[in-house]
Amino acid sequence: MPHFDPITQDGLVELIVVRVRELGERALVAIDGADAAEPDTMAHGIATALRDTGRTAEVVALHDYIRPASLRMEFGRTDEMSYRTAWFDYAALDREVIQALRRDARWLPALWNEARDRSARSPIRTAVTDTVLFVAGPMLLGRGLAFDLTVHLDMSEPALRRRTPADDLWTIPALLHHDRDNSSAPTFFIRWDHPDRPALRIDDTARR
């Protein structure tokens, strides 16, 4: 049976960096978590620590692959199904980041500027041989995206309600529904209700 061991954030970062360094050339890592879990912040922390070991690391935020407002709000701003299926352009992320890195050693850092609701006009980046891309954002797992390593920052409903801004509370049912439907097991499953006191799930067998 799995159990949870307490771990510090620094210890968690160190553990993930060790595993990432075992990956091959041009690797892709998902940092999956609700916005309330701040997966972007975690991704940047791990990327910084990885760079300190001499490996190239960059972060791609899922919010830079958000769809235009006219598409994601077609059925209203607070539609749960739209948030799960139409809010973020996972297909474009797969095409312009994941597949592009593997096939052409390049990636597009951002597709859409959420604040301005216009094209990000971001130039394509070329990846050196040892590049690791961290993709951070909500509901990344369970979509068939070919990551080499996955980290899930898991938050309970009460924790989500504590840490989610009032205007975004409507997203919580969608996040919980996605987690219930997702059967894929991350490499690292982290209880993140209290980010200053995370806990790491320890399974009987290693999972990917």
Q: Where are the beta strands (DSSP E) in the chain?
A: 3-6, 27-33, 57-61, 106-107, 112-113, 118-119, 125-126, 132-137, 149-154, 188-191, 199-202
Domains of the chain: 3-202 (3.40.50.300)
Q: Which range is least confidently modeled, 70-79, 102-111, 120-129, 196-205?
A: 196-205
- Looking at residue 24, its pLDDT comes to 87
Q: Is 112 in a helix, a strand, or coil?
A: strand
In angstroms, the CA 123 to CA 117 distance is 18
Mean pLDDT value of segment 27-35: 98
pLDDT in tens, 137-176: 999 999 999 999 999 999 999 999 999 999 999 999 999 9
Say if CB 36 and CB 159 are below 8 A apart: yes
pLDDT in tens, 78-104: 999 999 999 999 999 999 999 999 999
- Looking at residue 12, its pLDDT comes to 96
- Looking at residue 204, its pLDDT comes to 63
